[in-house]
Structure 1
Amino acid sequence: MDGTHLYEKYKGCLLVAVLQNGNHNIIPIAFAIVEGETSDAWHFFLSNLRQHVVTRDGVGLISDRYESINATVARSNGLWSPPKAFHMFCIRHIESNFLRKFKAPYLQKLVVNIGYSQTYALAFDDGYRWGHMTTNLVERINSVLKGACNLPITALVKATFYRLNELFTRKRAETEAQINAGHVFSKLVTSKLHANQLASRNIQVSCFDRQNEVFEMREMPSGLEYAVDLRRQRCGCEEF
């Protein structure tokens, strides 16, 4: 999450929270127009974000080291603290703070490299960063809305809504196309498996739990039955 300044006649800040889904798509999930990046503004934003949008536990929250954000996390009554959430800092902002304090440009890149090192920050985050070390995801959304940040408040809200509506419509169409392609592939695989079974007549699938990816197999002609768990990569025959 991050904030971007509004320009022209109407000042203030646009606070934005985004996530990345399993297809690596960047999804904006919350916006707020506030007077500035104050503690009260971030408290308002994060409280509503936690109550109405991010309701699951164990999430990772990446931001800059803005004092107002740190203060809000500290006063959230544990809603944005472990184990409910894990607040982490953007390595690029740490790099900027380091350069501002120590005035050592030759060490600047080393700070970023340390952050990305598998034996440093990534080794102790328990996977909650999902490999993300920066707030680049939200900054990409800010760049999309850059022209809209000059608009009056009502026009800004409308522009944000319609641009996101267009984005979600396009992503939904892409997802449906992928699902349809997956169904076709599944049918082809199923047909091939069935043909192989008819040819060899040594294995039969007696039951398939699609949601949990569990098969019940019967070996012929012995009639022995095994459970095959694709997620855990286990088989009742003790070989996977």
Structure 2
Amino acid sequence: MCAMREERGCLWAIHCRAQRANDFFYIKRFSDVHTCGTDVRTSKNPRVSSDLVSSTISEIVRDKPLTRPCEVVTILKRDYGLDVSYHVVWLGVEKVKAGIHGDHSLSFDQLRWYSDAVMRYNPGSYVNIDYDASSQQFCRFFVSFAACISRFNACRPLLFLDGTFLKGKYKGQLLAATAKDGNNGLFPVAFAIVDSETTANWSWFLHELGKVVDGKRHITFISDRNLGLLEAMPKVFPSAHHGYCLQHLKSNLRDWMKGIDNGFRDHLVRSLGDCAYEPTVVGFHEKLAKLKEEGKQRAHIFFKDLAPEHWANSYFRGMRYGEMTSNAAESFNNWIKEARNLPITQMVDKIRTQLMRQMSARRDQANKWNEIICPTFETRLMDSFNDSKSWQVSKANEDVFEVHSIPSVTVDVARRTCSCFKWQINGFPCDHAVIAIQKSRYNLNDCVEHYFHVETYRAAYSGAIFPISSVEKPPFDPTDFTIYPPTVKRPPGRPKKNRIPSRGEKLKQIRCGRCDKLGSHNRKSCTEPI
């Protein structure tokens, strides 16, 4: 009955009785009208505790681990008309996250079940779990889905390698190998969760990666100069070509030249880029000698152990299709930003869901294209034609042409070469080649590598990643063999959530069409409360 029955004569009451047969409560009598006025809801309710908040927003936080307390305050006000203090909401959010992160300790049956489920629902996938049986601690977890393994052959033989930190309660690193499709979109091939970026972990990751990529393809890798990766690469992929990220080299040179005038330091950094892009050996050495002369002893020391075979176009013998940086790997790390907050199996499944949606969306999109070349590179061809249409072209024979630009160059359409070397370096027709092909007997689309064709793009996304039903997932059993998180030292200070840009790196800001704020998100990825 109502607590105000005697004072105000309120008739609200409910009478229930429990049945011992099934332990159900049965309502016998219920009068749901308050006559004392206490049923009027107020915005500031002292009974709204952190427990009530956590139970109310648990699904929201589990779906979006980066949900902030201020967003929850807005949700409670909008949906329930309640003014809850930030402190109470923060406690409620932390309780939900504590429940999520409690899943970091897994029974071996659960971890083995998920690994088997990946291969059962997606036949042809490859999963490998490595743990320390003596200490019962997790070590490494490698995942590559079947659709990524088989369809990588429809992408350029180019892989971007990078590692990023995990942001959950238990720290670690996520190593990833990412490719690019025919429209320059990200195509994740494989990833792994490890405790840290060490030589042993990179060697293990590359060894596992070698099991899922086609060994007959001459793959080029692009990454930063991580010490563990530098030691592991020649051992696991001795015949592969390894290109260093130019953006990281510029940041390294900028730090190396610390203390000198900023304007002159920027000039040296730009000169490094000129050296990297120079296509001829003679031109490269001229520009490098000038850079060393200007940078003096510091520059000589910086380039002493920096082999040009790994960063200069004139010496690089692999095929990297004009890709000079590892930005694709950085983009993948940002793409899985929310997943990096989750426990291991939930993290892997979150990434699987993102891949599944991306493949489906791009498959539907490609089916609407009517062109022969993918839109990004079709636009590049049109720009090249507009930039070169004023040039005169002289014909030597059916295959060789001279383009009278400044300077004049020779284009051999049959051999797909240009004396400016851009066609050979980028694997895509340069401005000179485009205008020469227009004057020849060749079809321009036939002179573009098949990786950039819509047909190949559709082949890259013709596979599918299928859902994994968790209905059969075994419950956590404390008596089963338990795999605990790795022992990692928590760094001092407040945990970082966002990637720290390299010095000198320019971050492009865009205006979101939903919240109308400048930042690095758009309408689709916007999480700002409205």
The answer to whether the superposition gives a TM-score over 0.5 is: yes
SS at match of 1:52: coil
Report the equivalent of 2:241.
Answer: 86
Report the alpha carbon displacement of residue 54 of structure 1 after superposing the two structures with TM.
Answer: 4.3
Q: Residues of 1 paired with 2:341 and 2:348: CA distance?
A: 12
Aligned counterpart, 1:137: 328
Q: Which has the higher contact order (CA 8 A, sep 6+)?
A: 2
Instruction: Give the letter for the 1:165 counterpart.
Output: M
Q: Which residue matches 2:254?
A: 99
Q: Offset of 1:26 from its aligned partner?
A: 1.6
SS in structure 2 at match of 1:17: strand
Paired residue for 1:162, among 353, 359, 381? 353
Distance 1:74 1:63 in 2: 14
Deviations along 1:110-138, whole A, 9 cap, x unmatched?
22332233344223324511100000011
Q: Equivalent residue for 2:367?
A: 176
Partner Cα separation in structure 1 for residue 194 and residue 275 of structure 2: 35
Equivalent-residue separation in structure 1 for 2:333 and 2:190 (angstroms): 13
1:118 paired residue number: 279
Following superposition, the deviation at residue 37 of structure 1 comes to: 0.6
Counterpart among 228, 234, 244 of residue 68 in structure 1: 228
Instruction: Pick closer, same or farther for the CA change 1:168–1:55 going to 2, 3 Å.
Output: farther
Write the distance in 2 (CA, Å) between the matches of 1:54 and 1:97.
34
**What residue is the counterpart of 1:30 in the other structure?**
190
**Cα distance in 1 for residues equivalent to 2:200 and 2:162:** 15
Q: Is the CA contact 1:17–1:28 (under 8 Å) kept in the aligned structure 2? A: yes
Relative distance call for 1:54 and 1:90 in structure 2 (3 A) is: farther
Deviations 1:19-76 (A, max 9, x none): 1122322201011001111111111111111121243331110011111011101322
| Contact preservation (8 Å) 1:10, 1:153 | no
- Correspondence for 2:203 among 39, 43, 49: 43
Q: Say which SS state the counterpart of residue 122 (structure 1) adopts.
A: coil
Distance (Å, rounded) in 2 between the aligned partners of 1:65 and 1:147? 26
Q: Tell me, which stretches of 5 or more residues in structure 2 are unaligned?
A: 1-160, 285-311, 373-440, 448-530
| TM, length-normalised to structure 1 | 0.68
Q: Per the alignment, do residues 154 and 70 of structure 1 end up closer, same or farther by CA in structure 2, a change over 3 Å counting?
A: same
CA separation of 1:55/1:168 partners in 2, compared to 1, >3 Å: closer, same or farther? Answer: farther
Q: Are the counterparts in 2 of residues 81 and 87 from structure 1 also a CA contact under 8 Å?
A: no
Q: Once structures 1 and 2 are overlaid, which stretch shifts more, 32-41 or 105-114? A: 105-114
Equivalent residue pairs, number: 181
RMSD over equivalenced CA pairs, Å = 2.3
SS in 1 for 2:216: coil
Unaligned stretches of 5+ in structure 1? 184-227, 233-240
Cα offset, 1:147, TM superposition = 2.0
SS, match of residue 177 in structure 1: coil
Mark the CA change 1:35 to 1:53 in structure 2 (over 3 Å): closer, same or farther.
same
| Residue matched to 1:16 | 176
| AA at the equivalent of 1:20 | K
- The structure whose Rg is larger is 2
Whether contact under 8 Å (1:30, 1:49) holds in the other structure is yes
Query: 2 CA distance for matches of 1:111 and 1:91?
Result: 9
Distance 2:318 2:166 in 1: 34
For residues 145 and 93 of structure 1, the distance between their equivalents in structure 2, rounded to whole angstroms, comes to: 22
User: Counterpart of 2:211 in 1: which secondary structure?
Assistant: helix
Residue pair 2:174, 2:194 contacting (<8 A) in 1 also: yes
Q: What letter matches 1:116 in structure 2?
A: Y
Whichever residue aligns with residue 81 of structure 1, its letter is P
1:203-228 CA distances to partner (integer Å, 9 max, x unpaired)?
xxxxxxxxxxxxxxxxxxxxxxxxx9
What's the TM-score once normalised by structure 2's chain length? 0.32
Q: Distance in 1 between matches of 2:251 and 2:204?
A: 27
Task: Give the structure 1 partner of residue 319 of structure 2.
Answer: 128
Closer, same or farther: CA 94–150 of 1 in aligned 2, 3 Å: same
1:146 aligns with 2:306: no
Identity level (%): 33
Farther-moved stretch of structure 1 (27-36 vs 67-76): 67-76
For residue 48 of structure 1, give the secondary structure of its aligned residue in structure 2.
helix
Provide the C-alpha distance between the structure 2 equivalents of 1:32 and 1:165, rounded to a whole number of angstroms.
Answer: 18
Confirm or deny: 8 A CA contact 2:221 2:243 kept in the other structure.
yes
Contact kept? 2:222, 2:243, Cα under 8 Å? yes
Cα separation, 2, equivalents of 1:125 and 1:136 = 19
AA partner of residue 31 (structure 1)? F
Corresponding residue of 2:219: 59
The structure-2 alpha-carbon separation of the partners of 1:56 and 1:21, relative to structure 1 and needing over 3 Å to count, comes to: farther
SS at match of 1:124: coil
State the alpha-carbon separation in 2 of the partners of residues 116 and 59 from structure 1: 21
Establish whether residue 4 from structure 1 lines up as the match of residue 161 from structure 2: no
Instruction: Output one character per residue of 1:180-213: Cα deviation in whole Å (capped at 9) or x when no partner.
Output: x369xxxxxxxxxxxxxxxxxxxxxxxxxxxxxx
More strand by share: 1
**Rounded Cα–Cα distance in structure 2 between residues aligned with 1:172 and 1:158:** 21
Q: In 1, are the aligned partners of 2:179 and 2:188 still within 8 Å (CA)?
A: yes
